[in-house]
Amino acid sequence: MIGRLNHIAIAVPDLAAAAAKYRDRLGADVGSPQALPEHGVTVVFVDTGNTKVELLEPLGADSPIAAFLDRNPAGGMHHICFEVPDIAAASARLLSEGARILGDGRPRIGAHGNPVLFLHPKDFDGTLIELEEISPPGNR
């Protein structure tokens, strides 16, 4: 069911400082900050060639990563995202296997404009997993 690791998201308290560390210390391919107010984050993409790291800083009063940074003020790994070809089929399989989907249990449109869902970290060894529907190349 799951395909490629689309990204790993890291919540950071200071996006400019984090981006500078990836660029200067690690020599990584670091993009420009993109504000996504409807998702409550500003994001910088680090392109590793095969996948990407997303550095996330809270944006606005209701950021979905604010509580995580309250618990982890220095920042930390927030979630990983796997691609699936059909989010409805993925959702049905997961529910039939007893996994819990966060929120109202229905896919919503994620930060990349594709349908996504998040799985309860208690069902996956303390790891918050996002699934994102990415159409196979032949259907794009």
Determine if 97 is a binding residue for a second copy (CB under 8 A): yes
Which residue type occupies 63?
S
Distance between CA 31 and CA 87 in Å, rounded? 28
Which among 54, 56, 55, 72 is positioned nearest to 64, based on CA atoms? 56
Measured CA angle at 98 (ends 83, 84), to 5 deg:
10
13 or 38: whose CB is closer to a second copy? 13
Tokens of 21: 């560390």
Chain residues 99-128 in contact with a second copy, contact rule CB under 8 A:
99, 121-127
| The only residue of 32, 49, 62, 139 in contact with a second copy, by rule CB under 8 A | 49
Q: Name the minimum Å distance from CB 83 to a second copy.
A: 8
Query: Which sequence positions are flagged as catalytic?
Result: 130
Q: Which helix (H) or strand (E) holds 133?
A: strand 129-133
Question: Binding residues for a second copy, per CB under 8 A?
Answer: 1-5, 8, 10-13, 18, 21, 24-28, 48-51, 53, 55, 72, 74-77, 80, 82, 93-94, 97-99, 121-127, 129
